Amino acid sequence: MLILGSGPAGLSAAIYGARAGMQPIVVQGIQPGGQLTTTTDVENYPGFREVIQGPWLMQEMQAQAEHVGARMMWDTIVEVDLSQRPFRLIGDGGDVYEGEVLVIATGAQAKWLGLDSEQALKGKGVSACATCDGFFYRGKKVAVIGGGNTAVEEALYLTNHSPDVTLIHRRDSLRAERILQERLHAHPNITVLWNKEVAEFVDGGGNAGLCAVELTDTVTGERSRLDVEGGFVAIGHHPATELFRGHLKLDEDHYIWVEPGTAKTSVPGVFACGDVTDKVYRQAITAAGTGCMAALDAERFLQAAEFAELAEAAE
C-alpha cells in the first residue's frame, strides 16, 4: 500500500492499512504532517479535553502510524503512472515507489492574498478557516475577505461567535449563490463593504496580534481602516491534484472525484481521501475519517483481486 501525503487523511489510512497487514509506505511530501503543522491551537479534534497544538497532534499521529508498522519516506512525488498495477510514483530525486494499491491524500491549500502582513499575522488574528478558528473570536469584531460561496458561508458561520462581522469584497456584487446572499443580507450582525481591498493587516503590537485592516477603495483609491481582531481570508482553496491531471477523473474545481460514499477514484485500486476530495468540510476529523475509509476500501480491493487471481489459477 502506497500513501501519498502525511496529513490526518494519509496518516489515518496508514494506521488502518498497517493494522490490516498492507505494509503501507507513506510518502510525506514537503509538508510532513500536513496543514495542521502550520497552526497552533486545535480545540475541535475529539479526544482531548484541553486545547492541543496542531504540530503535536500530527507528531502523535505519525508516531502511532509508525508504531503499528507504517514506513515514512521523506520525498515529494513529481510523476505518477497509474496505467497498470503495481502503480508507480516517482520522487523528485528519481526514486521509484510501487504499490498494489494507492491512497492519495495530498490535501488542498487555502489561497492567500499574498501580503507580508498577512504572513506575519497568520495564527495571530489572520486565518483561512472560520470553522477552525472562529470560536477563538467569541464576542470580538471580525472581518471576512472574499465574495464567493466560501466567504459568505464563513461570514454566516462567524455570526455564531461574533456580534459584528464585516464582509470585505473588492467588487460591487458577490459571486456566491443567491440563497446564501439572501441569508447574508438578512443577517443583522453582518455588514458588507463593497469595492474594498485589504492593503494591510495591522499588528496591534506586543501580544495583541491583529487589531485592524487597512483598506483601499478599488474605485476611488481612497484609504480607510476597519478595527477588527480577526481577519478570515476566504478566497478559495487549491487542491494538490496537478500530478493527477489526465490520470484520474477530477471534478470541475480540480478536486479528485470519488464515488459518493466511498474513497474509490476513477481508477480501480486508487483511492483518495481528505481535503483533496473535499471542498465542503475541510477538517482534520473529516480527513481522518475518509483516510480510514480509503484504507478499508483498499483492503477490500486487494482481497477481491487476490481472490480473482486464485480463482483464475485454479481454472
Ligand X SMILES: Cc1cc2nc3c(=O)[nH]c(=O)nc-3n(C[C@H](O)[C@H](O)[C@H](O)COP(=O)(O)OP(=O)(O)OC[C@H]3O[C@@H](n4cnc5c(N)ncnc54)[C@H](O)[C@@H]3O)c2cc1C
Residues that bind ligand X (CB under 6 A): 4-10, 27-32, 34-36, 38-39, 42, 44-45, 76-77, 105-107, 110, 128-129, 132, 240, 243, 274-276, 282-285, 287
Give me the catalytic one of 132, 275, 278, 297.
Answer: 132
Residue 129 among the catalytic residues? yes
CB contact set of 118 (below 8 Å; sequence gap of 6+) = 112, 126, 198, 201, 233
Within 13 Å, how many C-alpha atoms sit on residue 289's CB side?
A: 12
Residue 306 Cβ, how far from ligand X at the closest point, in Å?
28
Give me the catalytic one of 41, 95, 133, 172.
Answer: 133
* Between 107 and 230, CB nearer to ligand X: 107
Residue 33 Cβ, how far from ligand X at the closest point, in Å?
6
Residue 275 Cβ, how far from ligand X at the closest point, in Å?
4
* Between 28 and 150, CB nearer to ligand X: 28
Q: How many CB atoms lie within 10 A of CB 260?
A: 6
Residue 235 Cβ, how far from ligand X at the closest point, in Å?
14
Residue 42 Cβ, how far from ligand X at the closest point, in Å?
4
Query: What amino acid occupies position 141?
Result: K
Residue 292 among the catalytic residues? no
E-strand spans in the chain? 2-4, 25-27, 41-42, 52-53, 71-73, 77-81, 87-91, 96-99, 102-104, 108-110, 126-127, 141-145, 164-168, 190-193, 196-203, 210-217, 223-227, 230-233, 237-239, 270-272
Residue 132 among the catalytic residues? yes
Give me the catalytic one of 41, 95, 129, 297.
Answer: 129
* Between 158 and 192, CB nearer to ligand X: 158
Q: In whole angstroms, give the CA distance from residue 203 to residue 42.
A: 23
* Between 128 and 295, CB nearer to ligand X: 128
CA distance to 1, 11, 63, 289, 298, per residue, from 67 (Å): 17, 12, 6, 20, 21
* Between 158 and 184, CB nearer to ligand X: 158
The residues carrying an active-site annotation are 129, 132-133
